[in-house]
Amino acid sequence: MTLRAVFKGWVERYFSDEEAVILLVVLVLGFAVVIWLGRMLAPFFTALIIAFLLQGAVSWLERRGIPHLLSVIVVFLAFLGMLLAMALIVMPLIWNQLVGLVQETPRMFASGQQLLDDLQARYPNLVTPDQIQDWIGAAGRELTQMGQRALTLSLASLGNVLALIIYLVLVPILVFFMLKDRDRLVGFMLWLLPRKRDLMTRIWHEMDAQIANYVRGKFIEIIIVGTTAFLTFAFFGLPYSALLAVSVGFSVLVPYIGAAVATLPVAAVAGFHFGISDQFLYVIIAYGVLQALDGNVLVPVLFSEAVNLHPVSIILAVLFFGGIWGFWGIFFAIPLATLLKALVYAWPRSIKSKGGEAEESIEALSEE
C-alpha cells in the first residue's frame, strides 16, 4: 500500500464527516487568533476570563429571584471592591516586602556562606573548600543575573504604565457588558457558526460545566491556600509572609511541581530567619500540613466533577501550553487537555467494512 493510499484512507476515516471539517477549521482559527493576536486582544481575553468567573455568581443571584441587571450590578460592584482592595492594600504590601527581601539578600547570602563554612568545618571529608567556592560563585552569578533581569523588567515596565491604565479602564468596562449582554453576545457568536453544529454543541455542553468548575475551583483554591499560608506564616512571625503566601497560592496552578517549587523560598526564608531550630521545624511542618490538606481535602471537594486525567497528561499539558502562552497557558493547561481528550473521543470516524460496502459513522465517547 502506497503512502498516498494510506493518507487518503486516514483522511476518509477522520474527515469524511462535513461537521468534523468545520470543527477543525473553527479550532484552527481560534488557536490562530490566540497565538497571533493574543497580545493585541489581551484586555478582551482577560475580561472574558473574569466574566466567566463572575457568571456563576450572577446566575446564583438570578436563581433566587433577583433581576438580571440588578444581579450584574451587585456582582460587578463586588468585583470592583476586590480590585480596589488588591490595588490599595495587597499590592503595596507585597511590593514593600519584595523591596525588603531584595535589600536583605546580601545579608542572607553572607549567612549562607557562613553556613557552608560551618558545614565544611564539621565535615571536611564531605565538603571541600573548592566545592564551597564553586557553590558561592554559582550563587553569586545567579543573583547577579536576577538583579539584571529585575532592572530590565523595571525599566521596561516604565513604558507599560499606559498599558496598565488601559487595562484598568477597559477590562472592567468589558466585564460589565459581557455580564449584562451575555445572551446577545452568545447569540451573535452562534449566528457566526454554521447551522449544522451538533458535534460542536455536544462537545461544548460536555466541556462547559467542566471548564467552569475547574476555573472557578482553581480561583477559590488560590484564595484559600494563599490566605491560609499568610495566616500561618504570620502566626509564626515569618518575615515576608504576604510575598511567600502569594507564591504558595499561585503554586497550585502547576500540579505536582508547584508545591515543590514553592517549598524552596519558604524553607530558605525560614532557615535564614530562625536558623536550624525548633521554630524552623514548626514552620516546615505547618507548611507540609497545608499542602497535604490542599491535595487530599480541598482539591477533591473543589474538583469532584473534573475529568480524570493521567498525571503524565497533566504535566505534558502544563509544559506545552505554558511554553506557548506563559501564565495563562499554565492556568488553562488542564481545561485545554480536557478539551483535547473530549475531541479525541467525540470526533466522528468512518469505518469501512471488509467487503468495501456501506460506511457507518461511529462516535467513541469516554466512559471514564
- What digits encode the pLDDT tens for the residues 254-289? 776 788 888 888 888 888 888 778 888 999 999 999
pTM for the predicted model, two decimal places: 0.69
**Calpha distance 173→170 (Å, rounded):** 5
> What is the per-residue pLDDT across 288-313, written as a single tens digit (0 to 9) for each?
999 888 878 887 777 755 556 677 77
Distance of CA 119 to the CA centre of its chain: 39
Mean pLDDT of 73-102: 86
Q: Please determine, for residue 239, whether its predicted confidence score (pLDDT) is greater than 80.
A: yes
pLDDT at 133: 67
The residues, ordered by sequence, that sit 6+ positions from 120 with a Cβ below 8 Å of its Cβ are 127, 128, 129, 132
Beta bridge partners of 360: 351
When the pLDDT of each residue in the chain is averaged and rounded to a whole number, the result is 77
Placement of cell 495587597 in the chain: 90
String of b and e for 42-74 (b: at least 16 CB within 10 Å)?
Answer: bbebbbbbbbbbbbebbeebeeeeeeeeebbbe
Between residues 151 and 163, which one has the greater pLDDT? 163
Q: How many CA atoms within 13 Å lie on the side-chain side of 65?
A: 0
pLDDT at 167: 77
**Calpha distance 294→252 (Å, rounded):** 9
Q: Please determine, for residue 63, whether its predicted confidence score (pLDDT) is greater than 80.
A: yes
Q: Please determine, for residue 367, whether its predicted confidence score (pLDDT) is greater than 50.
A: no
Q: What is the 3-class SS of the chain, one letter each residue?
A: CCHHHHHHHHHHHHCCCHHHHHHHHHHHHHHHHHHHHCCCCHHHHHHHHHHHHHHHHHHHHHHCCCCHHHHHHHHHHHHHHHHHHHHHHHHHHHHHHHHHHHHHHHHHHHHHHHHHHHHHHHCCCCCCHHHHHHHHHHHHHHHHHHHHHHHHHHHHHHCCHHHHHHHHHHHHHHHHHHHHCHHHHHHHHHHHCCCCCHHHHHHHHHHHHHHHHHHHHHHHHHHHHHHHHHHHHHHCCCCCHHHHHHHHHHHHHCCCHHHHHHHHHHHHHHHHHHCCCHHHHHHHHHHHHHHHHHHHHHHHHHCCCCCCCCHHHHHHHHHHHHHHHHHHHHHCHHHHHHHHHHHHHHCCEEEECCCCCCEEEECCCCCC
Return the closest-CA partner of residue 103 out of 158, 160, 141, 150.
150
- Residue pair 200/25 in contact (Cβ under 8 Å)? The answer is no
Q: Please determine, for residue 354, whether its predicted confidence score (pLDDT) is greater than 50.
A: no
> What is the per-residue pLDDT across 336-352, written as a single tens digit (0 to 9) for each?
787 787 777 777 666 55
pLDDT at 174: 92
Q: Please determine, for residue 172, whether its predicted confidence score (pLDDT) is greater than 50.
A: yes
Between residues 159 and 11, which one has the greater pLDDT? 11
pLDDT at 353: 40
Surface-to-core class of residue 118, CB atoms within 10 Å of its CB (0-12 exposed, 13-18 middle, 19+ buried): exposed
Q: Please determine, for residue 23, whether its predicted confidence score (pLDDT) is greater than 70.
A: yes
**Calpha distance 19→11 (Å, rounded):** 14
Mean pLDDT of 190-207: 74
